[in-house]
Structure 1
Amino acid sequence: MKFNTKTIHGGQHHEEVTGAVMPPVFLTSTFVQSSPGKPIGDYEYSRAANPTRTALEESLASIENGAKGLAFSSGLAATDCLLRMFKAGDEIIAMDDLYGGTYRLFTRLYKDSGIKFHFVDMNDMEKFQSLINENTKLVWVETPTNPLMKLADIAEIAKITKKHNILFAVDNTFATPYLQKPLDLGADIVMHSATKYLGGHSDVIAGALVIKDKALGDELHFKQFATGATLGPMDAFLVLRGIKTLHLRVQRHCENGGKVAEYLDNHPLVERVYYPGLASHPFHEIAKKQMSGFGGMVTFTFKSGKKEDAIKFLENLKVFTLAESLGGVESLANHPALMTHASIPEDKRKEVGITDDLVRLSVGIEDIEDLLADIEQALK
């Protein structure tokens, strides 16, 4: 199947008892057994597996070309499950520009675990490779990153991780499998905050892992089952419904995102625009190489460099909604330093380039003329 067909049919089957075209929402915690230890079907207890969640997980595996999909109660729960693969003495190399919640998880929740984290610019291959040693077990990359839209060359990093037998995980939340398929490029694991583009309607919190190797997928499923961070059936239904229109939505996100980026790039009050579709973007060539489009996320700064100008702009938007999160059909605006990345210490934010005048836009699928008019009046 081609991708657009996979979002609708990939890994999906009609419900056998009733013939329902869409998977029912199985709101049950447990399943009947004919004799002790002998369930009448494939399910015993919904923490281990639930038919609605299974339908979502098979869809996730299909659209990312993986062997196993796992659906979690949040993106951070998915990340945490993966980290449970490692023990004291292990080392993890991560990209230096990360979603604030991921950075918080790595540096605060796991600070006493004995696991050592290194943060590095993944485009500095020499520095990256200098950090690899016999204790290195995982490389963690976001591409594009949140919020600075940095990119990393997945295929080139995969060559290095394979050479050293290191697991390679990619947070594919911003790009989605419509634009980028990390497993095809050599990654071992893909993570999604399915809250974002996969769900697509700002009405669910969910996370996902898609694993290339079935044995590794089964091991992660056991950890998920044992720790309990599973996605409920109603939320699984909502994400599955969102995936069915993923290709249509992301296509419009890309169209609108590109036009917003071009508008801002030519505006006299704007200092810099971070958008991989612009030829001026430092990683534009990587984006063209590994992505089929440039997405709907746009970040920019002001010529004044003033935090107050960013706040005034955000307060005066009418169509864009000032709120955390991203990837919904509606356009959202965010101040990373005060909102999504506030958990990162100020000195670390400045070190990677998250300045106080930085604004992040999640460009939705509204009429582009309305979005541009809203940005224009807010800048005035």
Structure 2
Amino acid sequence: MEEKDSNTKTYQFGTKAIHAGVQPDSATGAIMTPIYQTSTYVQEAVGVNKGYAYSRSKNPTRHALEENIAAIENGKYGACFGSGIAAIDCVLKMLNPGDEVITTNDLYGGTYRIFKTIFEKYGIVFHFVDMLHAENILGYCNKNTKLIWVETPTNPMMNILDIEAVAVIAKANHAMLAVDNTFATPYLQNPLDLGADIVMHSATKYLGGHSDVVMGALVCKNDKIAKEMYRIQNSSGAIAGPMDSFLVLRGIKTLHLRMQRHCENGDKIARFLAGHSKVAHVYWPGLESHPNHNIAKKQMRGFGGMISFSLVGNQMSAAQEVLKKTRLFALAESLGGVESLIGHPASMTHAAIPKEEREAAGIVDSLIRLSVGIEDVVDLIQDLKEALK
């Protein structure tokens, strides 16, 4: 791959999404980054190569994607993994037995599971805290606090946490701050600019955008953190393959356009649900009534297409009826694709969390989560109207 002279860091988001990290192929001039489906590379002599020796360590397709994701997150270093959980696994492997992690009490069930069932038995201590007010963290900070893990918006309650305020607390306690930016995407929010040390993405979701790939990513600016990140990525080997890297690289090229429509549709659907007689509560940070709406306005450039809502009477049977009746909203795990999805957190994405803890965080039996796609919003609203009858 030949090098470009232009510096994409100075460009606007849409331009970076399309051009950062990629160059025309030097062999053919192909404008799309080739899929380097190879495990190894011929060396000119012992220890003399063209920057690639073995694809677990570095692959040209993955490398282009890692550069691209780093650029759109305003970071310096990017690393891609076989899944979002594999990316989280990498961050946790930067810790040692006895270290403590403060995290939110409302987070993705898979994150909760890896914290509790994998790393807790290796001596890492986890504190699950209501972070709606950043000062709630202070009572859990001590000399063993090494990581604060944040989701914002949270999954599935769409809570908004003040990244800047949490970053101040993290730095005062010499702890890393990692932010799961999956729901917001780099188009709507850049945690590194707000003081975070690491940004994590389930690239499976909005970055890929087409429900056809599973991948995770980390981005940072700090040289020391980056060195650890790459050491663990290479040593553990939970890497993203070249075909998957190609698909996400392609998906990012339209991220800004897709997110605009996700946000527009999300706004209309959230307001429709808020006015429906059978809906008890709507959780979407763009609603003026949403807790920490002002913080969302401060740190985000839009409010996204993820919405949760609960039903009047809070009956699981009522939720199941709605889930069965939608036609355009497909009942499925995951989110962030061009098509709309509907899910039931208590029995699907968050089933790994004990019922008492789920309900304490607001994940009640009637809670329904929507990933609003980019279809015509009139059709999506009609689909929900029919399902709520």
TM category (shorter chain) comes to over 0.9
Please tell me whether residue 96 in structure 1 is matched to residue 96 in structure 2. no
Task: Provide, for residues 331-372 of structure 1, a one-character-per-residue CA deviation record: whole Å limited to 9, x for no partner.
Answer: 000000111101111111011110000000000000011000
Please tell me whether residue 185 in structure 1 is matched to residue 194 in structure 2. yes
Aligned ranges for residues 299-338 of structure 1 at < 5 Å? 299-338=308-347
1 CA distance for matches of 2:260 and 2:374? 9
TM-score (norm 2): 0.96
2 CA distance for matches of 1:126 and 1:2? 35
Equivalent in 347, 362, 372 of residue 363 of structure 1: 372
Structure 1 residues 19 and 214: CA distance shift in structure 2, 3 A = farther
The AA in structure 2 aligned to 1:304 is: G
Please tell me whether residue 244 in structure 1 is matched to residue 253 in structure 2. yes
1 CA distance for matches of 2:169 and 2:245? 35
Please tell me whether residue 9 in structure 1 is matched to residue 19 in structure 2. yes
TM-score (norm 1): 0.98
The residue aligned with 1:341 is 350
Shift of 1:215: 2.9
Task: Provide, for residues 274-304 of structure 1, a one-character-per-residue CA deviation record: whole Å limited to 9, x for no partner.
Answer: 0000011012111101000000001000112
Shift of 1:37: 2.3
> What SS is found at the alignment partner of 2:117?
helix
Shift of 1:128: 0.6
Shift of 1:165: 1.8
Task: Provide, for residues 95-137 of structure 1, a one-character-per-residue CA deviation record: whole Å limited to 9, x for no partner.
Answer: 1101000000001111211110111011233331111111110
Aligned ranges for residues 1-380 of structure 1 at < 5 Å? 1-39=11-49, 41-380=50-389
1 CA distance for matches of 2:59 and 2:211? 23
The AA in structure 2 aligned to 1:160 is: I
2 CA distance for matches of 1:126 and 1:179? 25
**Matched length:** 379
2 CA distance for matches of 1:93 and 1:301? 28
Task: Provide, for residues 315-345 of structure 1, a one-character-per-residue CA deviation record: whole Å limited to 9, x for no partner.
Answer: 0001110000000000000000111101111
> What SS is found at the alignment partner of 2:121?
coil
Shift of 1:17: 2.1
2 CA distance for matches of 1:162 and 1:120? 18
Unmatched tracts of structure 1, length 5 or more: none
1 CA distance for matches of 2:52 and 2:210? 30
Shift of 1:164: 2.0
> What SS is found at the alignment partner of 1:271?
strand
> What SS is found at the alignment partner of 1:258?
helix
Structure 1 residues 215 and 125: CA distance shift in structure 2, 3 A = closer
Task: Provide, for residues 78-111 of structure 1, a one-character-per-residue CA deviation record: whole Å limited to 9, x for no partner.
Answer: 0001100011111110111010000000011112
The AA in structure 2 aligned to 1:22 is: M
How large is the RMSD of aligned CA atoms in angstroms? 0.8
- Report the more deviating stretch, 27-36 or 123-132: 123-132
Task: Provide, for residues 142-170 of structure 1, a one-character-per-residue CA deviation record: whole Å limited to 9, x for no partner.
Answer: 00000000110001111111222210000
Contact 2:153 2:160 in 1 (8 A): yes
2 CA distance for matches of 1:271 and 1:364? 23
Shift of 1:225: 0.3
2 CA distance for matches of 1:175 and 1:377? 29
Contact 2:285 2:293 in 1 (8 A): yes
